[in-house]
């Protein structure tokens, strides 16, 4: 007989979702009100203001899409890309490939700039692509590549796009709240993210922000946006600055309570403090992993502190380790993707999950599971190495 579902309490240290604080989960349980209730409209204004803080922008068109980060990505592309356009797409992991799919489904041409997985986007290659395709009107790239744990130079890429008269579409699903993200200062035009990573909210919401240049492009479109639900010209009427809101869709009211609480927690901590916390916990985790004899895949200057790509040691069964961590320790870490599948683990330290307890718990559990499988490594070294970072 089917009964109520009660999930176990997992420690989520994969590529997302991340751990959600009790404060955010509690916000979900508050009484539901109507999505056009004046009190909810007030909350919408607060969410917009908090998102502007998180993105470091004054963009008027800043809002949460009522769907996951993939919908935020699609919203940026379907509103800015028209049939016949040329778009330069950077790919150094899985999600650049999804950008390409979006471009082609909009009836446009994707010019691919490819870099090795584990490497950042090459500024020189992008510049060459613009030289070869001066008609390109958009540059699309991933700031923090979730599949590889690599940070690319978003400031330089946005500046390059602007210098060539192009708009920029930037994937910040894994970066928002975890590392520096300065939408206005960098001149980013269309930026999307997700609620379930460094914001430590539940999955299912995609924050987006559009610059005035992007809004002008949207308003001057000659073709209808191919998605009715994601058409920003329609959504503006619901999330606009006026007191009167035009009905567009039934917003996920309780999910937005949770997002509001998560964003409030980020502002209370402060962006700089949040970034420093992610960095400190990353350094402790890396110290512990390297003390065990494990190797990091990404060069230090390009690593994401919130998503750590670790090489699976020779002779160790990737899936067996992850399975044992989940079964014996209720600990989730991520598998490698694409060319890195079976060769890497992705260990997340995102948002609420980025704390000293989780770093030490993960290192201890990993040691126990690898020892049980007969792996050769430097046992007993990880915890002291991590503690030394925390105490320094």
23's tokens: 């404060």
Q: Where are the domain boundaries for CATH 3.90.1150.10 in the chain?
A: 270-391
What Rg, from alpha-carbon coordinates, does the chain have?
21
- Average of pLDDT values for 141-154? 97
Domain 21-268, what fold?
3.40.640
pLDDT of residue 247: 84
pLDDT for residue 238: 84
d(CA 150, CA 380): 29
pLDDT band at 271 (very low <50, low <70, confident <90, very high): very high
pTM strictly above 0.85: yes
Residue 242's pLDDT is what? 59
Name the β-bridge partners of 76: none
pLDDT of residue 240: 75
Structure tokens given for 59 = 């963009």
Sheet holding 190-192, edge to edge: 61-65, 206-210, 190-192, 167-171, 138-142, 86-91, 109-114
| pLDDT value of position 93 | 95
- Residues 203-227: tens digit of each pLDDT: 999 999 999 999 999 999 999 999 9
Looking at the chain, the domain(s) classified CATH 3.40.640.10 span 21-268
Q: How far is CA 114 from CA 91, 97, 193, in A?
A: 5, 10, 22
Confidence of residue 252 (pLDDT cuts 50, 70, 90): very high
Query: How many whole angstroms separate alpha carbon 4 and alpha carbon 349?
Result: 31
Structure tokens at 97: 């490939």
Q: Give pLDDT tens digits for 50-79.
A: 999 999 999 999 999 999 999 999 999 999
Lowest mean pLDDT among 147-156, 187-196, 367-376: 367-376
- Cα–Cα nearest to 186, from 216, 209, 215, 220: 209
H helices within 122-211, ranges in order? 123-132, 154-163, 183-186
Cα gap 103→108, rounded to integer Å: 6
Return the HEC string of 301-369: HHEECCEEEEECCCCCCHHHHHHHHHHHHCEECEECCHHHCCCEEEEECCHHHCCHHHHHHHHHHHHHH
For the stretch 277-321, pLDDT in tens is 999 999 999 999 999 999 999 999 999 999 999 999 998 999 999
Residue 225: its pLDDT value, please? 94
Position 369 scores a pLDDT of 97
Does 183 score more than 90 pLDDT?
yes
pLDDT band at 36 (very low <50, low <70, confident <90, very high): confident
Q: What is the mean pLDDT of residues 85-112?
A: 97
pLDDT reported for residue 239: 83
pLDDT above 70 (res 241): no
Kindly report whether the peptide bond that precedes residue 17 is cis, defined as omega within 30 degrees of 0.
Answer: yes
Confidence of residue 246 (pLDDT cuts 50, 70, 90): confident
Cβ atoms of 72 and 194 within 8 Å: the answer is: yes
CATH architecture of 270-391: Alpha-Beta Complex (3.90)
% pLDDT > 70, the chain: 99
Which of 242, 265, 266 has its CA nearest to residue 44?
242
């Amino acid at each position: 007989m089917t009964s109520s579902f009660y999930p176990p309490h997992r420690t989520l240290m994969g590529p997302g979702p991340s751990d959600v604080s009790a404060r955010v989960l509690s916000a979900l349980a508050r009484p539901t009100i109507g999505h056009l209730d004046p009190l909810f409209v007030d909350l919408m204004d607060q969410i917009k203001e908090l998102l502007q803080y998180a993105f470091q922008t004054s963009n008027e068109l800043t809002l949460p899409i009522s769907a996951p980060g993939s919908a935020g990505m699609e919203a940026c592309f379907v509103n800015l890309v028209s049939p016949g356009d040329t778009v330069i797409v950077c790919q150094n992991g899985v999600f650049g490939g999804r950008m390409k799919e979006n471009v082609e489904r909009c009836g446009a041409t994707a010019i691919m700039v490819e870099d090795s997985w584990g490497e950042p986007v090459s500024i020189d290659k992008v510049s060459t692509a613009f030289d070869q395709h001066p008609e390109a009107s958009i540059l699309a790239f991933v700031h923090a590549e979730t599949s590889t744990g690599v940070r690319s130079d978003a400031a330089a890429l946005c500046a390059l796009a602007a210098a060539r008269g192009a708009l920029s579409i930037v994937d910040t699903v894994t970066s928002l709240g975890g590392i520096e993200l300065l939408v206005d200062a960098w001149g980013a035009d269309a930026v999307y993210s997700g609620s379930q990573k460094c914001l430590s909210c539940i999955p299912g919401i995609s924050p987006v922000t559009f610059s005035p240049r992007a809004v002008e492009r949207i308003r001057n479109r000659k073709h209808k946006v191919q998605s009715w639900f994601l058409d920003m010209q329609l959504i503006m009427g619901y999330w606009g600055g006026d007191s009167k809101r035009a009905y567009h869709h039934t917003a996920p009211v309780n999910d937005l309570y949770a997002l509001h609480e998560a964003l409030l927690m980020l502002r209370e901590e402060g962006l700089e403090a949040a970034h420093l916390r992610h960095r400190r916990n990353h350094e402790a985790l890396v110290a512990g992993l390297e003390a065990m004899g494990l190797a990091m895949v990404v060069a230090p200057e390009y690593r994401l502190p919130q998503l750590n790509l670790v090489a699976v040691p020779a002779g160790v069964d990737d899936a067996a380790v992850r399975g044992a961590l989940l079964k014996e320790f209720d600990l989730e870490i991520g598998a490698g993707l694409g060319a890195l599948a079976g060769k890497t683990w992705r260990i997340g330290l995102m948002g609420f999950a980025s704390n000293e307890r989780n770093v030490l718990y993960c290192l201890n559990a990993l040691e126990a599971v690898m020892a049980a499988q007969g792996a050769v490594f430097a046992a007993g070294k990880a915890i002291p190495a991590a503690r030394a970072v925390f105490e320094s």
